[in-house]
């Protein structure tokens, strides 16, 4: 199993980060992509990738942190991408739910990071919350299809998923698909081809049922894969193998 999106740099892991990470291979987790949200967390992601053979890093500035972008940010990210286990630029995108950064700044920083990813030929990991149309417009205008990527923890409709797939991007499926009242995520999994789907925990957030409300970790991927298999009418192994191969293909793992 490959956890295509995690945040082990989060402070909730400060007490037992290394104990938790050491347990992941025992649960069948072969790779973890730790996604940065700003320069400092991107540094920690790279550091974790250098400490653990199964951890890889994505570096980037989250829309919440877009206001902190300055002339030095890009050069600092550029230095980090020189490390051999950086596999993507992320987590980048737009968030119109919280609007922690002004929308125009979010859009500018998102566009600049897509351009950066294209210059490095690295895929992107996209955060999209209540900003579907602007995300799609920027992906198109910045020619993001040249590097591809994933819309992580996808929360849109089937119609939005269709537009994402038309751009050649993958769909990231996480804990919400297991929630008892989940409707949209189930419809999306039913619609999206198995070869265009990644699985993720977004840990420590979004724990799947039956562990909802607790701190999430990569060992919980199995609940997400089980749900995908159930929705698709396939066995667990087929869903596990497909999502693993998808992540290896996209991220060149």
Task: Inform me whether the pLDDT recorded for 34 exceeds 90.
Answer: yes
Q: Alpha-carbon torsion 9, 153, 23, 253, what sign?
A: negative
Between the alpha carbon of residue 244 and those of residues 70, 150, 181, 216, the distances in Å are 36, 14, 27, 20
Q: What percent of the chain has pLDDT over 70?
A: 100
Q: Provide the pLDDT for residue 228.
A: 98
Tell me the per-residue pLDDT of 52-109, one tens digit each, with 9 for 90 and over. 999 999 999 999 999 999 989 999 999 999 999 999 999 999 999 999 999 999 999 9
Name beta bridge partners: 124.
Answer: 89, 149
Confidence tier at 15 by pLDDT (50, 70, 90): very high
Q: Provide the pLDDT for residue 71.
A: 85
C-alpha 102/C-alpha 66 separation (Å) is 8
Task: Inform me whether the pLDDT recorded for 8 exceeds 90.
Answer: yes
Across 147-157, average pLDDT: 97
What's 2-251's CATH class?
alpha beta
Across 173-198, average pLDDT: 97
Q: Provide the pLDDT for residue 61.
A: 98
C-alpha 143/C-alpha 39 separation (Å) is 24
C-alpha 206/C-alpha 216 separation (Å) is 7
What is the rounded radius of gyration, in angstroms, for the C-alpha atoms of the chain?
17
What mean pLDDT, rounded, does the chain reach?
Answer: 97
E strands present in the chain: 2-6, 31-35, 55-59, 86-95, 124-129, 149-151, 170-173, 197-199
Tell me the per-residue pLDDT of 98-135, one tens digit each, with 9 for 90 and over. 999 999 999 999 999 999 999 999 999 999 999 999 99
Phi first, then psi: give them for residue 75, nearest 5 degrees. -70, -35
pTM score: 0.97
Instruction: Give the dihedral of Cα atoms 53, 50, 174, 141; nearest 10 deg.
Output: -130
Per DSSP, 203 falls in state B
C-alpha 129/C-alpha 41 separation (Å) is 21
Across 190-205, average pLDDT: 98
> Is-contact 106 129, C-beta < 8 A?
no
Across 242-250, average pLDDT: 98
> Is-contact 126 169, C-beta < 8 A?
yes
Tell me the per-residue pLDDT of 201-226, one tens digit each, with 9 for 90 and over. 999 999 999 999 999 999 999 999 99
């Amino acid at each position: 199993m490959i956890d295509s999106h995690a945040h082990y740099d989060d402070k909730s892991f400060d007490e037992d980060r290394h104990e938790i990470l050491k347990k992941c291979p025992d649960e069948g987790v072969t790779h973890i992509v730790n996604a940065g949200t700003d320069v400092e967390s991107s540094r920690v992601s790279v550091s974790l990738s250098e400490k653990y053979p199964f951890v890889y890093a994505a570096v980037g500035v989250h829309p919440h942190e877009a206001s902190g972008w300055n002339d030095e940010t890009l050069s600092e990210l550029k230095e980090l991408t020189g490390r051999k286990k950086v596999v993507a630029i992320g987590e980048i995108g737009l968030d119109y739910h919280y609007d922690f950064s002004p929308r125009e700044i979010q859009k500018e920083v998102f566009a600049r990071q897509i351009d950066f990813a294209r210059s490095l030929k690295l895929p992107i990991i996209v955060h999209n919350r209540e900003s579907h149309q602007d995300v799609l417009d920027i992906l198109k205008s910045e020619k993001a299809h040249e590097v591809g990527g994933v819309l992580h923890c996808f929360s849109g409709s089937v119609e939005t998923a269709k537009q994402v797939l038309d751009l050649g991007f993958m769909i990231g499926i996480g804990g919400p698909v297991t929630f008892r009242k989940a409707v949209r995520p189930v419809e999306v999994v039913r619609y999206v081809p198995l070869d265009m789907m990644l699985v993720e925990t977004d840990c420590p957030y979004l724990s799947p049922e039956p562990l909802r409300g607790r701190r999430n970790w990569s060992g919980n991927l199995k609940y997400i894969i089980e749900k995908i298999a159930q929705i698709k009418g396939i066995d667990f192994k087929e869903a596990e193998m497909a999502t693993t191969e998808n992540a290896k293909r996209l991220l060149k793992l």
